[in-house]
Amino acid sequence: MTTSPPRTQQDTTDLPPLVSGPRRLLKHPRLMHYNRLAALVILANLAFLYAGWPLSTETLGHAALANLALAVLVRQQYVINLFFRLATWAPTNWPLKIRWTLGKVYHFGGLHVGGALAGTGWFLALTIRTTDAQLRAVGWTLFALLAVIVATALPPFRSRHHDHFEKIHRFGGWTALALFWTHTLLSSPGPAELTVLSVVTFSVALPWLRLRKVDVRLERPSGHVVLARFDHGETPFAGSSTAVSRSPLKEWHSFANVPAPGEPGFRLTISRAGDWTGSFIDDLPSKVWVKGITTAGVANIEVLFKKVVYVATGSGIGPCLPHLLAAEVPSRLVWATRDPRTTYGDALVDEILAVQPDAVIWDTSQHGKPDMVRLAYAAYRDFGAEAVICISNKKLTWQVVHGLERRGIPAYGAIWDS
């Protein structure tokens, strides 16, 4: 373990200069790949509108269905895993700029946003055009529901009322799907429409068809964290995540799976970060609900690079740990956390040091909070890495990712789009 350097040494690490103005502009958060994909979907729909104007009622219906199907299917776990598989097929001898862009595959949620917005707009146009009384009633009801779902998914509401956002998205989405079926059947649909709706319905139902209640063994090294161990016949791949709940119709929380090489089952690292996790740590339930398909996460893009630096704070070590243990890609860990051995236990820290003897572990209880951009850059420079992957809270992740990317360094981190 590399001991934390004095604060003065850390602060004097020289950062490289910012890239040129136009390139730096493209690294602005508002122009991230997520928003670019959403804009691309909207522009494609506007081009379709311009090319086909005036559009028939049937065409409006097809456009609405196609976009809403896109919005649903890109969130399906098998589709997400396919996106990651395709993006990470690129060999490491490809130009870094191409691999840098492919690494942004986890921004696929922009397709979801673009499809939802465009689909809602097309459905509004369809409803205005409709003359049948029954269809108009169902149409306006469905449009009102879609508008509520879209409005509550916007960042200001979603970030402040995330539990309500989840419930509205879940129950509102199911209701919207039922209304879409009703509207379609009233419209004398053809085989194509019924096929698309059937695929969308199956996609929505599939994770719930895998719902089950399983045993969990919990180890609480401190009042801040529990290590949850599962062994119910599944050993997920490194970097995937599992959705866990104690009340499956109310709320779900996803955590990174930590499989150990050569061992069955997996672990989750759950830290105190709100009412649900706090209750979980305090109550130590013996059984929990799990559903869905293990899904790839941001750190799975590591295979695109010859060497990577993992930057984590606190329980962000959880998503990094399976990659560090698997050691598929040469990596260097930078971990800032409060009193790591007391908080997470000697066993976990020793396990990390066994595979990362040169890790930089910054104890914030002794040295305060570090400048993570400088710390990340120093590790990137000294290790000769090609990319940095940051797992932390939203504010610090943005600081590290955009602080490095504006200096021409590929950097990746969660974008909190769900």
Q: Give yes or no: residues 63 and 185 share one domain.
A: yes
pLDDT at residue 183, as a whole number:
95
- The domain boundary, picked from 147, 178, 209, lies at 209
Q: Give yes or no: residues 239 and 371 share one domain.
A: no
pTM of the prediction?
Answer: 0.91
Burial class from Cβ neighbours inside 10 Å (0-12, 13-18, 19+) for residue 141 reads middle
Cβ-Cβ contacts under 8 Å for 329 (sequence gap 6 or more): 302, 303, 305, 306, 307, 308, 323
Joined tokens for residue 135: 């269809």
Q: Mind listing the pLDDT tens digit for each residue in 271-317?
A: 888 788 899 999 999 999 998 788 998 999 999 999 999 999 998 99
Domain that holds residue 119: 32-209
pLDDT at residue 328, as a whole number:
93
Q: Give yes or no: residues 104 and 218 share one domain.
A: no
Residue 12: helix, strand or coil by DSSP?
Answer: coil
- The domain boundary, picked from 185, 209, 233, lies at 209
What are the backbone dihedrals phi and psi of residue 215, each rounded to the nearest 5 degrees, phi first? -75, 150
Instruction: State the helix-helix crossing angle for 109-129 and 33-52, rounded to 10 degrees.
Output: 30
Q: Give yes or no: residues 304 and 248 share one domain.
A: no
Q: Give yes or no: residues 174 and 193 share one domain.
A: yes
How many domains in the chain?
3
Joined tokens for residue 42: 């909207």
Q: Give yes or no: residues 265 and 331 share one domain.
A: no
- The domain boundary, picked from 148, 177, 209, lies at 209
Q: Give yes or no: residues 285 and 370 share one domain.
A: no
Q: Give yes or no: residues 194 and 217 share one domain.
A: no
Q: Give yes or no: residues 13 and 129 share one domain.
A: no
Q: Give yes or no: residues 274 and 359 share one domain.
A: no
Helix (H) / strand (E) element for 33: namely helix 33-52
Distance CA 33, CA 383 (A): 27
CATH number of 243's domain: 2.40.30.10
pLDDT band at 174 (very low <50, low <70, confident <90, very high): very high
Where residue 306 falls (left for φ over 0; alpha for ψ -120 to 50; beta otherwise) is: alpha
Flag whether 172 is in a domain: yes
Q: Give yes or no: residues 290 and 181 share one domain.
A: no
Q: Give yes or no: residues 59 and 205 share one domain.
A: yes
Helix (H) / strand (E) element for 61: namely helix 57-73
Q: Mind listing the pLDDT tens digit for each residue in 391-400?
A: 999 999 999 9
pLDDT band at 260 (very low <50, low <70, confident <90, very high): confident
pLDDT at residue 12, as a whole number:
60
Cis before 54 (ω within 30)? yes
Flag whether 418 is in a domain: no
Joined tokens for residue 302: 């590591």
pLDDT band at 5 (very low <50, low <70, confident <90, very high): low
Distance CA 105, CA 85 (A): 10
CATH number of 344's domain: 3.40.50.80
Whether residue 88 has pLDDT greater than 90: yes
What is the average pLDDT value for the chain, to the nearest integer? 91
Distance CA 359, CA 361 (A): 6
Q: Name the residue type at position 417.
A: D
CA dist list (Å): 364 to 4, 6, 337, 361, 392: 9, 12, 6, 9, 14
Flag whether 49 is in a domain: yes
The neighbour count for residue 154, using CB atoms within 10 Å, is: 11
